[in-house]
Amino acid sequence: TKIIESCEKIGLDYYDFLIWHKPHRQFEKVYGSYPYPTNYQFNMVFEYILIFRKWVNNKYFNTRKLPAPEIKEKSIIDKKTWYDWVSNVWEITPVIKYNSKGQNKRGHVAPFPEEIPYRLIKIYSFQEDIVLDPFMGSGTVAIAAKKLNRHYIGYELNEEYYNLCLRNISKMSLRLDL
């Protein structure tokens, strides 16, 4: 509830939530008091995804104009995809990979599959809209936005993650430009 309250204070409206179910168990270091009882810790196999919207207030801004008909047409979601994504529980395999020493090979402590922002961006925006990501991390949202023909603005305070994000976006740009 604190996250929702904080976001509402800055003008975002809580809209909905999803559950990301991770179908393949992640072997994280979750031992608690193993092998003894009382401090057992569960291995998290799901995460909540909270969805917020920034609604336009007529008092301060012009209301959002609908996109041009050709942009609306390019943004259509086909019926099969619509039905596949309608559930608020999405089963998507995590992307975190560990090397033989148990170290994360992705360069970020909490990477998530590109499929998650891809679906959310496609569902909640039209082509050429702007996607804002205040926590860029490794650039997954930026990559999904670019693939879906959306503009992207992102912020990242951690310099190491910022550089990782730039590298990942640059690799993706090279693949798309071929």
Task: Write down the pLDDT at residue 56.
Answer: 60
Q: Does pLDDT of 69 surpass 90?
A: yes
Calculate what percentage of the chain has a pLDDT beyond 90.
Answer: 43
Mean pLDDT of the chain: 83
CB 166 within 8 A of CB 143: no
For residues 59-83, average pLDDT: 84
Q: Does pLDDT of 103 surpass 50?
A: yes
- Residue 44 corresponds to which tokens in the numbers above? 């998290």
- CATH (domain of 88): 3.40.50.150
DSSP 44: P
Q: Does pLDDT of 13 surpass 80?
A: yes
pLDDT in tens, 27-52: 555 566 677 777 777 778 899 999 98
Answer whether 0.85 is exceeded by the pTM. Answer: no
Q: Does pLDDT of 105 surpass 50?
A: yes
Task: Write down the pLDDT at residue 112.
Answer: 85
pLDDT in tens, 114-153: 999 999 999 999 999 999 888 888 899 999 999 999 999 9
Calculate what percentage of the chain has a pLDDT beyond 70.
Answer: 78
CA distance 155 to 137: 9
pLDDT band at 77 (very low <50, low <70, confident <90, very high): very high
pLDDT band at 25 (very low <50, low <70, confident <90, very high): low
If one counts the domains in the chain, the total is 1
DSSP 3-18: HHHHHHHTTPEEEEEE
Task: Write down the pLDDT at residue 177.
Answer: 43
DSSP 117-152: HHHHHHHH--TT-EEEES--TTSHHHHHHHHTT-EE
More confident residue, 78 or 174: 78
Task: Write down the pLDDT at residue 178.
Answer: 33
Q: Which domain holds residue 35?
A: 2-177
